[in-house]
């Protein structure tokens, strides 16, 4: 693997002594997004009861996810042109503003639109946090800092649902959004004061605004069609067909325009590089598996095993627990044996956990579900982090933001594809009950087929990580 980054922090940055406060601020910024991923779920019923329009509750999540996913490539390119600091500050500001507006929302449609604003902020926060960490720490140091960042997700996975339940039951669901204000303010102030980037020498590359419009529009329609197809409208409906046709047309137009642009907003040529292409493909599979399990493990636990929502939630929590544990340890592993073998071991572990799900039947115990998804989570921590770092380490400062955004965008697309594909499998074998969840005698069979799909994705993941070029850990650290 050819490394173009250096073994010392990037020379564009300010004093190395500021790195501690910067890392703390990035952890706080990440906490905004990590908490938001779980804190709202437990309060959605309470929100619908107060604001009405229960049928619009899914849009509280879809609108946010859509806005976050489609803006990631745009932010990645803007960061490489204008610098990371401006982009992450804008992202935090948008997220905090969206939180304030969500807290005072007077109707469900207003809350949904304000969630879009939050999503626009989140689309900048996550890729910039990962990119800045890669900028200011050497590869060896990232083995430790990655553990700190992973701990944010681990804590949030437990704290989020708890706070959501407490706020909605004992105070007000609006505090779910008010709590973001002090966290965001501290993160914004710390990054503003401590994070310094030197001005770029020479003229900046022009921003491809036409490409940005085409890519954002096409991605929006694609993700929208995948998220809502089979739910808000039928897959074969005129609305669904029109959305996908328009998405393909816009994305094809973007691809043609990008080929003629020396500095496209999303450089497809990056994917031709073996390490970036393999890392992106692996991230796509990570997205399919994680959101697929997050969606259907609770349904399996409740609909097939007959347990309550709380127990089903604990079963799924094992996935989010295993991931940060392995991510924390992954640094020591890839420093010892390299990115390729670390990711391969992780993918094999994911496959082992996926095969464990095939042993689940209607008489399975909850601990068996937890054990299977815990193993999958361990594997994910050994795949997601090393593949991203491998791609980041293979490029210089001017492309690192775009590479990070490409990896995260692929994961978002994978999540949308995973939910859509697995949803089609489940819907084909079951009927939807009055509460909007699948039910009937075919549910157990449908879940078993879902687990087979996860096994297939895990097998594909092994192939993708094996496509990573061989790397010498000692040479990579010294590069």
Q: What is the pLDDT of residues 355-401, one digit of tens each?
A: 999 998 888 888 888 899 999 999 998 998 889 888 888 877 778 88
The DSSP H or E segment spanning 289 is: helix 274-303
CA dist 153 and 159 (Å) reads 10
Q: Rounded to an integer, what distance in angstroms lies between the CA atom of residue 471 and that of residue 38? A: 37
Kind and range of the H or E run holding 438:
strand 438-439
Nearest to 276 by CA among 134, 464, 461: 464
Is residue 58 within 8 A of residue 66, CB to CB? The reply is no
Residues 441-469 have a mean pLDDT of: 88
In terms of pLDDT, which residue wins out, 474 or 85? 85
pLDDT of 205 over the 90 cut: no
Q: Give the pLDDT confidence of 123-143 residue by residue, as tens digits.
A: 899 888 888 888 888 877 877
Which residues, 6 or more positions from 210, have their beta carbon under 8 angstroms from its beta carbon? 257
Higher pLDDT: 115 or 477? It is 115
User: So what's the pLDDT on residue 237?
Assistant: 87
Q: List, for residues 24-47, the tens digit of each pLDDT value.
A: 899 999 888 888 877 776 677 678
Q: Please say if the pLDDT value at position 202 is more than 80.
A: no
Please write the tens of the pLDDT for every residue from 244-254: 999 999 999 98
Residue pair 283/407 in contact by the 8 Å Cβ criterion: yes
CB 215 within 8 Å of CB 78: no
pLDDT tops 80 at residue 120? yes
pLDDT band per the 50, 70, 90 thresholds, residue 290 = confident
CA 149, CA 139: separation in Å to the nearest integer? 15
Q: Do 211 and 264 meet the contact criterion of CB atoms below 8 Å apart?
A: yes
pLDDT at position 207 over 80: no
Residue 14 phi, psi dihedral angles, 5° rounding:
-80, -150
pLDDT at 416: 75
Ranking 106-115, 236-245, 321-330 by mean pLDDT, the lowest is 321-330
pLDDT surpassing 60 at residue 436? no
d(CA 320, CA 343): 18
pLDDT at 473: 60
Rounded to whole angstroms, the Cα distance separating 470 from 479 reads: 15
Model confidence at 346, pLDDT cuts 50, 70, 90, reads very high
How far apart (Å, rounded) are the C-alpha atoms in residues 87 and 70? 15
Distance separating alpha carbons of residues 18 and 11, to the nearest angstrom? 14
Q: Output the pLDDT for position 84.
A: 86
The pair of structure tokens assigned to 338 is 């390299």
The residue to which tokens 């040529």 are assigned: 269
Give the per-residue pLDDT at 137: 83
What local confidence, expressed as pLDDT, does residue 310 receive? 66
Binning pLDDT at 50, 70 and 90, where does residue 17 land?
very low
Q: What is the pLDDT of residue 301?
A: 81
Q: What percent of the chain has pLDDT over 70?
A: 86
Position 55 scores a pLDDT of 62
* Confidence category of residue 220, pLDDT binned at 50, 70, 90: confident
Average pLDDT over the chain reads: 81
Q: Provide the pLDDT for residue 15.
A: 41
Task: Identify the bridge partners of residue 432 per DSSP, sorted by sequence position.
Answer: 438
pLDDT-derived band at 465 (thresholds 50, 70, 90) equals very high
3-state secondary structure at position 266: coil
Whether 447 has a pLDDT exceeding 60, the answer reads: yes
Tokens for 350, please give them.
């994911």
- Averaged over 296-321, what is the pLDDT? 76
Residues 6+ apart with CB under 8 A from 155: 31
């Amino acid at each position: 693997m050819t490394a173009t980054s250096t073994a010392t922090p990037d020379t564009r940055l300010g004093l190395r002594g500021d790195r501690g406060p910067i890392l703390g601020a990035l952890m706080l910024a990440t906490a905004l997004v990590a908490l938001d991923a779980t804190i709202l779920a437990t309060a959605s019923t309470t929100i619908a009861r107060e604001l009405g329009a229960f049928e619009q509750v899914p849009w509280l999540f879809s609108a946010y996810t859509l806005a976050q996913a489609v803006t990631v490539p745009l932010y990645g390119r803007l960061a490489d042109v204008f610098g990371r600091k401006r982009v992450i500050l804008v992202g935090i500001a948008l997220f905090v503003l969206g939180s304030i507006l969500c807290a005072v929302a007077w109707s469900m449609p207003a809350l949904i639109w304000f969630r879009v604003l939050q999503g626009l902020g989140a689309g900048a926060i996550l890729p910039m946090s990962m990119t800045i960490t890669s900028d200011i720490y050497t590869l060896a140091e990232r083995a430790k800092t990655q553990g700190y960042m992973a701990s944010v997700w681990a804590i949030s996975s437990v704290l989020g649902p708890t706070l959501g339940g407490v706020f909605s039951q004992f105070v007000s669901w609006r505090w779910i959004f008010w709590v973001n204000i002090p966290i965001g303010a501290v993160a914004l102030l710390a990054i503003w004061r401590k994070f310094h980037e030197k001005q770029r020498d020479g003229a900046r590359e022009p921003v491809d605004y036409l490409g940005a419009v085409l890519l954002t529009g096409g991605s929006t329609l694609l993700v929208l069609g995948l998220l809502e197809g089979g739910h808000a409208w039928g897959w074969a409906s005129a609305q669904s067909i029109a959305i996908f046709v328009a998405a393909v047309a816009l994305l094809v137009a973007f691809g043609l325009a990008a080929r003629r642009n020396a500095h496209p907003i999303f450089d497809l040529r990056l994917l031709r590089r073996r390490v970036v292409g393999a890392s992106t493909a692996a991230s796509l599979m990570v997205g399919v598996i994680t959101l697929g399990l997050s969606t259907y493990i609770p349904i399996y636990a409740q609909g097939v095993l007959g347990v309550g929502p709380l127990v089903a939630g604990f079963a799924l929590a094992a996935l989010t627990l295993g991931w940060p544990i392995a991510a924390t340890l992954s640094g020591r592993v890839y420093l010892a044996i390299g990115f390729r073998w670390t990711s391969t071991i992780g993918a094999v572990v994911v496959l082992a956990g996926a095969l464990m799900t095939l042993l689940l039947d209607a008489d399975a115990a909850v601990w068996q579900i937890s054990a299977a998804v815990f193993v999958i989570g361990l594997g994910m921590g050994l795949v997601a982090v090393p593949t991203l770092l491998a791609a980041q380490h293979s490029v210089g400062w001017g492309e690192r933001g775009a590479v990070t955004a490409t990896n995260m965008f692929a994961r978002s697309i994978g999540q949308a594809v995973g939910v859509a594909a697995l949803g089609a499998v489940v819907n084909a074998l079951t009927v939807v009950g009055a509460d909007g969840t699948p039910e009937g005698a075919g549910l157990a069979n449908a879940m078993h087929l879902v687990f087979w799909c996860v096994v297939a994705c895990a097998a594909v993941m092994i192939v993708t990580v094996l496509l990573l070029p061989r790397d010498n850990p000692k040479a990579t650290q010294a590069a």
